[in-house]
Structure 1
Amino acid sequence: MSGWCCSALSAREIAVKDLNRIDLNLLVYLDVLLRERNVTQAANQLGLSQPAMSNGLRRLRDLFNDPLLVRTSDGMSPTARALELEPLIRDVLAGVERAIQPTSDFDPSDANQVIRVMASDYAESTLFPTVIGELREQAPGLTLDVMTPSDVSFLDVERGKIDLVINRFDQMPQSFHQITLWSDPFTCLMSRDNPILSQFDLRAYLNADHIWVSKTGMGVGVGVDPDDVQRLGWVDTALAQMNEQRRIRVFTRHYQAAMTLAEENDLIVTLPSRATWLKRDNPRVVVRPVPFEVPPLELKMAWSPLLQHNPAHRWVRQTITRIARELNA
């Protein structure tokens, strides 16, 4: 028994000795290095010199007995051990962040900071007027910086440089937190003078000329190939499943522009209903149901796990979610 106790004690002593070797700053360095995959960029983000960052990487390699990041044709690539450590390190740092967060509740009336949000034109038009009105009332010191999908990347969000992204997303990193704000069915908007209104059915829809409007995900956009149905979105995918295809004459990324074009031409624009609802008082346009089944648009809000427990961030998220649910009701 005494031998077992001595053996167990030695193991604990070894564990403590190993923990004493760990500088918490090194874990922060590793987290940023794995995000940036670049020593210079990691140093810039942490406000360190490149030699200091390189020294930190050397110490990390000694600590974990692994190269962690190695040079390849694509730049610095993480080793298998680094990929294994990545979620564990983030969990540790998130726990530390939670421990040092202020215990007092966030007071929006005293807040004075910038909240950066990437939002699609659709979200900015349908959701943000109410959101901004309430933020101005409850948190007048907050500044909202609304960015477009082409302004940011998923990496910007992952690093916490962008607080929130609000859009429809075909794909999203699994590490992100996300919530569906609402689901919105599609409708057709067209000029009141459009002759198609006399008999608006599927055949008439297919024989008409259309405006395409969409911008999913994030990043710089590229030109659209009218024949690449899989990349055109839900409306055209639904038609393809029926072995049909619409005739698109105008491609745009702006909902307001699409609706203005439909108002002044014999073009049809098929949009989520909340967007066409913005034209409800315009006597020059008419809204009709889509003459075939189209899955509704799901508007999602997503954010980095780095910001999950930040009190100000949590209050803004909860406020936007509540407003979206109220508008949806």
Structure 2
Amino acid sequence: MNIAKIDLNLLVYFDVLIRERSVTKAAHQLSITQPAMSNGLKRLRDLFNDPVLVRTSEGMTPTQRALELQPVVRDALSRLEAAIQPELDFDPATSDRTFRIMASDYAESTLLLAVIGQLNILAPNIALDVITPSDVTFHDVEHGKVDMAINRFEALPLSFHQKVLWYDSFSCVVNSDNPIVGRFTLDNYLAGQHIWVSKTGFGVGVGIDPNEVQKLGWVDVELNKLGHKRHIRTFTRHYHVALQLAKAQNLIATLPSRAARIYQDDPNVIVLDPPFDIPPIALKMAWSALLQHDAGHIWLRRMIMDIANQL
């Protein structure tokens, strides 16, 4: 067997699976989904030509082959971890590391602003290199070239680790002089003119076709379920542009509430509840399994999670 053809992440999966003797617990331990861990077990079975774990009356039980491999794999992983991470501790106060984070301007405005403020206090020499979604591919994150991606994702590779930072509802932003204020009904919402804004996932975006409702996203999908369609005048990928347009023109911007609240104290803007139900969206943080045990990365993830919980 050529080791160059082996996904070494599988050895990490094997180590945790044999220790936990449960696909569910192993997935939780590695912060991946249960289907991803099930897929990892299937690949391990193909790799070793052995069932690895079998279901018995006592639960999932390792095969004899798996028990023989366990100490060898554990020793190899321990040596590898020690070799690539000679520093067991990470001191944010003295570190001059640069973390590269892919984030939409929604995540920048609502989360990273607070993260940068905390870094200035706890880690004055650490730098953030914030990259737009259009500049990053799945492979960049998977290979550790980008430390993490923070955005709203429709789908992520099974190998990625991920955490939900928060769920967000939707709000509508309009100019305070917009005639719709005070009579914000569904009929008046549909009679108005709208700004579409979204940037999810990875990679270079493509032009929007207003007739492809499913590709327009959450707002238009929910309207379509009600048998309605809004009149979109402007398409943008930038939340601040949408907010400025809503402020300056008689246009309606329907966007995540945390972004809308950026302008809530502006006297020229009114923030309203949508006149129909829109399911909440999840802001997620995703990263490569290669960085799962990196001390500095662990510190940054915990800090971001703490700030997200506070917000």
Q: TM-score range by the shorter chain?
A: 0.7 to 0.9
Asked if the contact 2:171/2:271 (under 8 Å) is kept, the reply is yes
Q: Which residue of 1 aligns with 2:91?
A: 107
TM-score (norm 1): 0.72
Larger-gyration structure (1/2) = 1
Q: Offset at 1:83?
A: 11
Post-superposition Cα deviations, 1:197-217, rounded to whole Å, max 9, x if no partner, equal 131111111111000000110
| One-letter amino acid of the structure 2 residue matched with residue 198 of structure 1 | G
Q: Which residue of 1 aligns with 2:301?
A: 317
Q: Which residue of 2 aligns with 1:292?
A: 276
Q: Which residue of 1 aligns with 2:245?
A: 261
Q: In structure 2, how many angstroms separate the alpha carbons of the residues matched to 1:206 and 1:108?
A: 51
Post-superposition Cα deviations, 1:43-95, rounded to whole Å, max 9, x if no partner, equal xxxxxxxxxxxxxxxxxxxxxxxxxxxxxxxxxxxxxx999559x9xx88865
1:232 has 2:191 as partner: no
Q: In structure 1, how many angstroms separate the alpha carbons of the residues matched to 2:234 and 2:103?
A: 23
Q: Secondary structure of 2:253's match?
A: strand
| Alignment CA distance shift 1:202-1:113 (3 Å) | same
Q: In structure 1, how many angstroms separate the alpha carbons of the residues matched to 2:77 and 2:220?
A: 42
| 1:158 pairs with one of 130, 137, 142 | 142
Q: In structure 1, how many angstroms separate the alpha carbons of the residues matched to 2:177 and 2:307?
A: 36
Q: Which residue of 2 aligns with 1:197?
A: 181
Identity of aligned residues (%): 52
1:208 has 2:192 as partner: yes
TM-score (norm 2): 0.76
Q: Which residue of 1 aligns with 2:233?
A: 249
Q: In structure 2, how many angstroms separate the alpha carbons of the residues matched to 1:187 and 1:140?
A: 35
Q: Offset at 1:117?
A: 0.2
Q: Which residue of 2 aligns with 1:57?
A: none
Q: Secondary structure of 1:298's match?
A: strand
Q: Which residue of 1 aligns with 2:81?
A: 98
Q: Offset at 1:96?
A: 4.7
| Alignment CA distance shift 1:149-1:108 (3 Å) | same
| 1:274 pairs with one of 247, 251, 258 | 258
Q: Offset at 1:110?
A: 1.6
Moved more, 306-315 or 195-204: 195-204
Q: In structure 1, how many angstroms separate the alpha carbons of the residues matched to 2:47 and 2:119?
A: 39
| 1:136 pairs with one of 98, 120, 125 | 120
Aligned length: 254
| One-letter amino acid of the structure 2 residue matched with residue 185 of structure 1 | S
Q: Offset at 1:176?
A: 0.3
Post-superposition Cα deviations, 1:254-307, rounded to whole Å, max 9, x if no partner, equal 000000000011100001111011102210010000111101121000000000
Q: Offset at 1:253?
A: 0.2
| Alignment CA distance shift 1:96-1:172 (3 Å) | farther
Cα RMSD, aligned residues only: 2.6
Post-superposition Cα deviations, 1:92-114, rounded to whole Å, max 9, x if no partner, equal 88655434434632111121211
Unpaired segments ≥5 residues, structure 1: 1-21, 35-80
Asked if the contact 2:102/2:130 (under 8 Å) is kept, the reply is yes
Q: In structure 2, how many angstroms separate the alpha carbons of the residues matched to 1:217 and 1:189?
A: 24
Post-superposition Cα deviations, 1:173-224, rounded to whole Å, max 9, x if no partner, equal 0110000000110000000111111311111111110000001101000000
Q: In structure 2, how many angstroms separate the alpha carbons of the residues matched to 1:141 and 1:239?
A: 48
Moved more, 190-199 or 307-316: 190-199
| Alignment CA distance shift 1:95-1:194 (3 Å) | farther
| One-letter amino acid of the structure 2 residue matched with residue 313 of structure 1 | H
| One-letter amino acid of the structure 2 residue matched with residue 188 of structure 1 | C
1:176 has 2:160 as partner: yes
